[in-house]
Chain A
Amino acid sequence: MLSWSGTEQGLEISLEKVKNTTGGVDVSFARELVDFATAATEFDKAALTAARNNLINIAGLAVAIDASAVIANFEMMTRLADSTGARMQTEVVQDRLAVATAMGVDNVISRR
């Protein structure tokens, strides 16, 4: 979905850089959004506070709230997918394997 939406908007997305959280993605506030999503899914409260404040300062409170909502949504959807054995059709997996490899999730247990 990231590759698709980026392509549709004429933006260059490096999934390798998203995986490594090294920025370099041609999207506004990409560095801050990835840092916030990373901190929100880990357990360092100071890092989360810093990432949230940084995002609010640079992008605004409404952006931080909606980013939190997207984070929350995918904390839900990843569990929904993995607990119900959700999988894509074989041909879809083949189409998207390059993306999965770039993200480092081509060999996780949840691949089925």
Chain B
Amino acid sequence: MSLINVSISDVRADLIFAHEQAWSALSQPGTWWSGAQRRELAHTALLAVSENEPSPPWVAVSTVADKNLQIHFASSAAHDAVYRIARHAATLTRDWYQRITQEIEPLAFIELCGVVCTVATVSAFRRALDLGIPELEPATGGEPSRIKPANVVDATLNWVPVIAPADENAAVVQAFTAVPETNRVIWAMADAQYIPDKEMVDPHWTRGTLSRVQMELVATRVSQQRECFY
């Protein structure tokens, strides 16, 4: 069998665009974190998803000397949370969430989760095709917008607050809604990577490559590997 090299030019333009937009945003001011903070947290997430021998979930990674984390702009608690979500997400509990949100405001926590999700998805795609992980861009200056939507409410189906009305959509769909820019970036990638939202109810939808059932087979295997009950 011959070794086949994949090039970024082989990838669909819409997928490249969604990834580039999300990756670039990692170094730009967000809603609750500055560009320098977001970039630094993304760096920790990259470490977490790429280590052959990760710190165990019960260890605060910021206390591990040989990790050489860059902790200059965001708190140690934020870095610890990022590492835990990026590498040990299935071990998270409500108690953990309640502890972390005593140190990180819930809406800032949601944005932090979005940083991890962006790093995890782009790096997984690149790694699967041996394309190499792009460098994080230099941080852009400026303050986070700190714009809080007016209708943020508690939810039953998530730990995190969501935009009202709560629990009318699936928990994963409403999870990031209280930070609209994070929500937009994540779902733009989901549309390009998986299935456009409006096509989700069609079991026969396809891009002409994978059938819907083939996509779900892959999705099921990844979810099982990550021990994700949802």
Q: Check A88–B192 contact: CB distance below 8 A.
A: no
Q: Check B90–A110 contact: CB distance below 8 A.
A: yes
Q: Which residue of A lies closest to B54 (CB)?
A: A43
Q: Within the assembled complex, what's the spacing in Å between the Cα atoms of A69 and B158?
A: 26
Q: Within the assembled complex, what's the spacing in Å between the Cα atoms of A83 and B83?
A: 12
Q: Within the assembled complex, what's the spacing in Å between the Cα atoms of A54 and B209?
A: 16
Main secondary structure of the interface of B (DSSP, over half): helix
* CB of B175 closer than 8 Å to a CB of A: yes
State the Cβ distance, B19 to closest chain A Cβ, in Å: 9
Q: Check B157–A83 contact: CB distance below 8 A.
A: no
- The contact string, 1 if C-beta is below 8 Å from chain B, for chain A 71-95, is 1111111111111111111000000
We find that the number of chain A residues with CB closer than 8 angstroms to chain B is 74
Q: Check B3–A37 contact: CB distance below 8 A.
A: no
Which of A5, A79, A111 makes the CB contact (< 8 A) with B89?
A79
List residues of B (75-98) whose CB comes within 8 Å of A's CBs. 85-86, 89-94, 97
Contacts of A41 in B (CB 8 A): 124, 221-222, 225-226
State the Cβ distance, A84 to closest chain B Cβ, in Å: 4
- The verdict on A109 contacting B227 (CB below 8 Å), with A8-B203, A68-B129, A69-B192 known, is yes
State the Cβ distance, A90 to closest chain B Cβ, in Å: 10
Main secondary structure of the interface of A (DSSP, over half): helix
Q: Check B127–A40 contact: CB distance below 8 A.
A: yes
Contacts of A89 in B (CB 8 A): 157
- The contact string, 1 if C-beta is below 8 Å from chain B, for chain A 24-60, is 0101111001101110111100001100111011001
List residues of B (106-152) whose CB comes within 8 Å of A's CBs. 110, 113, 116-118, 120-122, 124-125, 127-130
Chain A residues within 8 Å of B, Cβ to Cβ: 1-2, 4-6, 8-9, 11, 13, 15, 18-19, 21, 25, 27-30, 33-34, 36-38, 40-43, 48-49, 52-54, 56-57, 60-89, 100, 103-106, 108-112
